[in-house]
Chains A and B, each alone.
Chain A
Amino acid sequence: MPLFLEFRAHPLIVIRRYSCGYIIMRPLIIICQLAVIFLFCMMPTTTFAMDVVSEGTVWWIWPILLFVLTFLIGVFGVMAGIGGGVLFVPLVSSFFPFHIDFVRGAGLLIALGSSLAAAPNLLQKNLASLKLAIPCALVASTFSIIGAFGGLWLSSINSAYIHTSLGVLVLLVVALMLASKRTDYPQVQPGNFLTEALQLNGIYFEPTQNREISWTVHRTGKGLVAFSVVGVLAGMFGLGAGWANVPVLNLLMGAPLKVAVATSSFSLSITDTTAAWIYFNKGGVLPIIIIPSMAGIMLGAKIGSRLLSKVEPALIRKMVIGVLLLAGLRSLLKGFGI
């Protein structure tokens, strides 16, 4: 959908009629950009302010701020086509007074909650494939346990290690988002042994073409190895893993984009479950952080999905990349004690 329609009323006068979604979203986008840049520039001051507020009794301000932030993450996360976890963990660990151990636990449960909210619909429409998700999620969830223990161990030595590596990872996610070119229907070489054994194929209905599309995948072994890395990172940083699952399923394994996005959304709940239990058992779950965030992200995602058809996704994507870049840099600086 175009952002605006142009009318030339006179050789020197051009009238632009902006779409409704653009008029609503543009000020929001500018406010968000300014807020993040402001927070980033004013970091020493905001850290001081956080300490002052934290020491006082105004605890209630933080769940409210969390709700507002996660609502915006939900809106923009959906429109940019990435999960909320990847935005939540670096932003909240950088700009809120909570220790990163609690933020990671919250990140996993928020990704889990978002995935559970989306999964039934995606499975019923046959866009998410249970067959494809089972082996991929098994590998990822196994390694997410290792990641969760590794992350807690690293954090117990010095939480700066986690902040630094989170910063590096978020910057890599930015690079991945800038570099990856997704393919709607990748070319697949059939005959892969694992693909055949696991019968990784299916059919879904594509409404834009009004026909059923058959799909299969290839390079299943390499894909499963990639999911082991995704699992470690998901457990270690509580990031969710949609940012990595989709490129693995779509670019490496050759699943159609819609199937890759839907299967990734669904399999997140399985991947994050095992790591989430580790955080539960270690006491790294604070309802005061998780529940307002979950409410904000779910509400935001609902509104974001409604606004999706009315805004320019490329613009939102650029904005989200900008926010991630700042959050990644902030994490990196926090890791260096700056």
Chain B
Amino acid sequence: MTQEFENLECQQGYAMLLKRISNLGLVLLFLTFGLYIFGVLEPLIPLEKLPQYWNLPLNEYIEQSGAPIGWGWLNHLGNGDYLSFIGLILLAAVDGICYVFLFIFFTKKKKRLYMALVSVELFLILLSASNLMQFGH
């Protein structure tokens, strides 16, 4: 069995980065949710109106509520419901950020196969985050 490629070093770095960013994401998530749920910031969709919308299929919900899609939520950061997105987005972006670290690590170590795998994963994350993919919905 080959043990020449022991990746403990990058694994520890990855773990540390993951921990710090996801902790930050969780703190932001719960803080902004507090501002939303306790009415400190006015939500775009009033809380008492949510039960009219949350049982609708996605396309009807968007049509009736006027909720933004794609990155449109950035225009509503003054609203409590969309300010909560900052924490959620950070959590969804953690692995992308950590993969940038991995890409740099594998490039330095000249591990071409893993460099390629990490690049493809990064591309997929960016593509799915970009809202460029549209598929019949």
- A interface list, Cβ under 8 A from B: 53-57, 59-60, 62-63, 97-99, 101-102, 109, 112-113, 116-117, 119-121, 123-124, 126, 129-131, 134-135, 137-138, 141-142, 145, 149, 152-153, 155-156, 159, 190, 196-199, 201-203, 214, 216, 269-270, 273-278, 280-291, 294-295
Contact = CB atoms under 8 A, between A and B. Distances in A.
Given A59-B50, A216-B1, A269-B95, A283 B113 contact: no
A62 B50 CA distance: 11
Contacts of A274: 124-125, 128
Nearest to A269: B95
B75 interface: no
A99 B1 CA distance: 50
Nearest to A277: B128
B100 interface: no
Given A97-B55, A291-B33, A123 B14 contact: yes
Interface residues of B, number: 68
B29 to A, nearest CB: 6
Interface in B43-79: 47-48, 50-52, 54-59, 61-62, 67-71
Nearest to A198: B113
Contacts of B102: 130, 134
Given A55-B51, A141-B121, A282-B137, A156 B58 contact: yes
Contacts of B104: none
A283 B61 contact: yes
Nearest to A148: B128
A109 B91 contact: yes
B16 interface: yes
A23 B124 CA distance: 49
Given A53-B51, A97-B55, A202-B6, 19 more contacts: A97-B54, A98-B54, A99-B58, A102-B54, A113-B26, A123-B14, A134-B117, A138-B121, A138-B124, A141-B124, A273-B92, A274-B124, A276-B92, A282-B58, A283-B67, A287-B33, A287-B84, A291-B29, A295-B30
B131 A99 contact: no
Given A57-B48, A120-B18, A131-B7, A149 B58 contact: no
B43 to A, nearest CB: 9
A284 B58 contact: yes
26 contacts: A59-B51, A99-B56, A99-B61, A101-B57, A109-B91, A134-B102, A141-B124, A149-B136, A156-B137, A199-B2, A216-B1, A269-B95, A270-B121, A273-B125, A274-B124, A278-B128, A278-B133, A280-B89, A282-B58, A282-B69, A287-B85, A288-B54, A290-B88, A291-B30, A294-B29, A295-B30
Contacts of A113: 26, 91
B36 to A, nearest CB: 6
Contact of B114 (A112, A120, A126, A134): A134
